[in-house]
Chains A and B, each alone.
Chain A
C-alpha cells in the first residue's frame, strides 16, 4: 500500500494529512513535489489542503496546471484512487476531474469551525466504514468552499449517486442553518462517476488524532486505505 501526498508551493496541510495516513496504516506516505512528472505504483494519491499559489486568480487554478497534474489526470483515467481535500478538492474541480465549481463562501469570509456531515453514499471504497446517513463531526477551514453546479450537473450527480457528504446539523438534518458556506444542496463532497475519486471541502484529517476534538475522520481513512492494503 503506497500513498503519495502531492505538495505545491503554498500547500500547508500536507503534514496533517500524513499524520492521519500514518495513524491509519502505520506507514508514512511519500510527499511528492509538484514538479515531478510521474507517479509510479501508488495506490492512493492525495491532494492536500493549503493555499497553492496563494489562491491567486482562482483557488487551485494554477496548481491545476502544474507538471504533476498531467500524470494525475492520467492516473485518474486509469482508476487510481484519488482523494482531494479543501485546496485539493479545488484542484480536482479546476482540472475538471470532478464537476462543478467552488465559489467564495456566502458570507464572504474565511470560515474555520467544526461542522457535521451526513454521508450520502456509503457504498464506495472511501466511505464503506461509515453508516449510510451517519453523521460525522469534522472541521472546515476555507474561504472558497461554496459548491456550485448547474442543474445539468446536479441531476448527473444525483443520477449517479455522486454526492458523498452534505452539511447537516448534529442530528443529521440537512438544513439552511447547517449549510456552512452556501453550497448548493448543502454539498460538501462529491465522487467521480466511478467512485474512484473523492473531493471534499472539510478536513477529516484534522479529526483523527487523540488530542483533536473528534476522531470522526478515522473511519473514512480506514475505508480509503484498508481496501488497498
Chain B
C-alpha cells in the first residue's frame, strides 16, 4: 500500500522572486488593489510506500526536491 505525500517548495525569505513580483504587478494592473508580498513555488505530489519514514522524505527534499541554498520546503501527508 502507499500513502500520498505532498511537498511544497518555496523560495527562502530574502531570495529575489521575480516571478512573484511579476504576478503581483499583473494583479495590480488587473485592478486588484492592495495585493502585496506575492511569492510563488512548486507543489510536488507523490505516492510513497506506507513504510517510508519521515526521515526518508526529508532526505528526498534535501537531496533533490528543494535546493536548501535558496528554497524552503514543507512536507504534508494526506
Given A57-B64, A61-B64, A65-B63, A104-B18 contact (CB < 8 Å): yes
Q: How large is the interface on B (under 10, 10 to 19, 20 to 34, 35 or more residues)?
A: 10 to 19
Given contacts A57-B64, A57-B65, A65-B63, contact A108 B19 (CB under 8 A): yes
Query: What's the least CB distance linking B20 to chain A, in Å?
Result: 11
Q: Chain A's interface: helix, strand, loop or mixed, by majority?
A: loop
Q: A148-B15, A182-B16, A182-B18 are in contact. Are A103 and B64 (CB under 8 A)?
A: no
For residue B10, CB closer than 8 A to chain A, the reply is no
Q: Which residue of A lies closest to B44 (CB)?
A: A57
Interface residues in A30-64 (C-beta closer than 8 Å to B): 57-58, 61-62
Contact with A along B38-65 (1 / 0, CB 8 A): 0000000000000000000000000111
Q: Does A146 contact B (CB under 8 A)?
A: yes
Is there a chain B Cβ closer than 8 Å to A106's Cβ? yes
Q: In the complex, what residues of B have CB within 8 A of residue A57's CB?
A: 64-65
Any chain A CB within 8 A of the CB of B69? yes
- Chain A interface size, as a band, is 20 to 34
A169 close to chain B: CB less than 8 A: no
Known contacts A108-B19, A182-B18; is-contact A103 B70 (Cβ 8 Å):
yes
CA distance A105 to B16 in the complex (A): 10
A94 proximal to B (CB < 8 A): yes
Does A223 lie at the interface of the complex (its beta carbon under 8 Å from any beta carbon of B)? Answer: no
On whether the beta carbons of A101 and B19 are closer than 8 Å, the reply is no
Residues on the A chain within 8 Å of B18, using CB = 103-108, 146, 182
Contact between A146 and B22, CB atoms less than 8 A apart: no
CB pair B22–A108 under 8 Å, yes or no, is yes
Say yes or no: B64 contacts A65, CB within 8 Å: yes
In chain A between 79 and 124, which residues have their CB closer than 8 angstroms to a CB of chain B?
Answer: 94, 96, 99-101, 103-108
| Residues A94 and B67 in contact, CB atoms below 8 Å apart | yes
A contact residues vs B (CB 8 Å cutoff): 57-58, 61-62, 65, 94, 96, 99-101, 103-108, 146, 148, 150, 182
For the complex with contacts A101-B69, A106-B18, 17 further pairs of A-B residues with Cβ separation under 8 Å are A61-B64, A62-B64, A65-B63, A96-B69, A101-B15, A101-B70, A103-B15, A103-B18, A104-B18, A104-B19, A106-B16, A108-B19, A146-B18, A148-B15, A148-B16, A150-B69, A182-B16
Sample (7) of A-B pairs whose CB atoms are under 8 Å apart? A57-B65, A65-B63, A99-B69, A108-B18, A148-B15, A148-B16, A148-B70
- Which 4 residue pairs across A and B have the least CB separation, nearest first? A101-B70, A101-B69, A106-B18, A108-B18
